[in-house]
Amino acid sequence: MGVVVVAAGSGTRLGADRPKAFVELAGVTILEHALRGVLASRPGEVVVVVPQAFVDEARSIVACLDLADARAEVVPGGAERSESVSAGLAVLSDHVDRVLVHDAARCLTPVGVFERVLAALAAGAVGAVPGVAVIDTVKVIDAGGLIVDTPLRESLRAVQTPQGFVRGILTAAHAAGAAATDDAALVEALGHDVLVVEGDHRALKVTTPDDLARAERLLTDRWSALP
Ligand code: CTP
Ligand code: MG
């Protein structure tokens, strides 16, 4: 199994003086938090995709981690998230047949989420993504702001990463190249079934300064829960 960790975004909404993955959370970079979680899922390979100017810094971070037997690569990403995913997929070894794509920004994702996605793939799913129930009622609106639909809340899930796929299907989905905000949407567009497994609120995507503060609180809770 291989994991593509996408960390090549600029972090505009976070507004820090460096790309989001290189911002520190409780004294450790977001990228390092994310990679520790990824490595706990025992991947055979990890590809870390970062901005071109941060390739060396990412290599130093990777060099300090306990990779166990995992092969690790750092490559530069692209202007859009999907380009960064494609850049990562391109360097996985040929024998890697299952792949997880994970946002470095979801840096506190518990290992149980990785395990549920992997278990779904092992059970035969071609795609599996973590999702959590939606709290708000969600409306579909038209260009003028008028509500055109109210989907049944019970049928809605907010999806997270890691998103797992049969590698060949994900590669084909990216080659087909429609715009989408997650990898599952590209795979769905090819007509494949993608299963939603249980996500976790701790897999939040650090996006704004408020999220960073929330993530710090989650970490403090984790430490205070230690024996
Ligand atoms: N990402 C990436 N390459 C891009 C854009 C995003 O690898 N060209 C990654 C980010 O590094 C992040 C994940 O995709 O881990 C989710 O993206 P997002 O949270 O939107 O991060 P940013 O694009 O960095 O943030 P912003 O949109 O606020 O600029
Ligand atoms: Mg973005």
- When pLDDT is cut at 50, 70 and 90, the band that residue 227 belongs to is low
Q: Which of 4, 20, 23, 57 to mutate to test the pocket of ligand 1 (most atoms within 8 A of CB)?
A: 20
3-state secondary structure of 69: coil
Task: Find out whether 177 and 188 touch, Cβ atoms under 8 Å.
Answer: no
Residues 171-191 have a mean pLDDT of 93
Residue 34 is which amino acid? A
Query: Which ligand neighbours the alpha carbon of 209 most closely?
Result: 1
Map out the domains of the chain with their CATH numbers. Answer: 2-133+160-224 (3.90.550.10)
What residues flank ligand 1, with Cβ below 6 Å?
Answer: 6-13, 20-21, 49, 77-81, 84, 103-105, 205, 207
**Nearest of 181, 83, 193, 92 to residue 100 by alpha carbon:** 92
Determine the Cα–Cα distance for residues 201 and 213; give it in Å rounded to an integer: 15
User: Which atom number of ligand 1 is nearest to the Cα of residue 103?
Assistant: 15
- Give dist(CA 195, CA 199) in Å, integer: 12
pLDDT at 184 over 70: yes
Atom of ligand 1 nearest to the CA of 7: 11
- The preferred substitution site among 10, 17, 49 for testing ligand 1, maximizing ligand atoms within 8 Å of CB, is 10
Name the H helices within 123-166: none
**pLDDT at residue 179, rounded to an integer:** 81
When pLDDT is averaged across residues 96-112 and rounded to a whole number, the result is 98
- Cα(225) to centroid of ligand 1, in Å? 31
pLDDT for position 60: 98
Quote the ligand 1 centre to 8 CA distance (angstroms): 6
> Which candidate, 200, 207, 203, 178, places its Cα nearest to that of 191?
178
Confidence label for 88 from pLDDT (cuts 50, 70 and 90): very high
Least distant ligand from the CA of 20: 1
pLDDT at 226: 67
The model's pLDDT over 6-58, given as tens digits with 9 standing for 90+, comes to: 999 999 999 999 999 999 999 999 999 999 999 999 999 999 999 999 999 99
User: Closest Cα to residue 104, out of 68, 54, 64?
Assistant: 54
Q: What average pLDDT is seen over the chain?
A: 96
Q: Are 161 and 85 in contact (CB under 8 A)?
A: no
Q: With pLDDT > 90 as the criterion, what percentage of the chain qualifies? A: 95
Report yes or no on whether pTM surpasses 0.75. Answer: yes
Arithmetic mean of pLDDT, 73-87: 97
Give the pLDDT of residue 185: 97
C-alpha of residue 80 to centroid of ligand 1, in Å: 8
Say how many Å lie between the CA of residue 81 and the centre of ligand 2.
Answer: 7
Tell how far CA 77 is from the center of its chain: 14
Residue whose Cα lies nearest atom 10 of ligand 1: it is 9
pLDDT at 123 over 80: yes
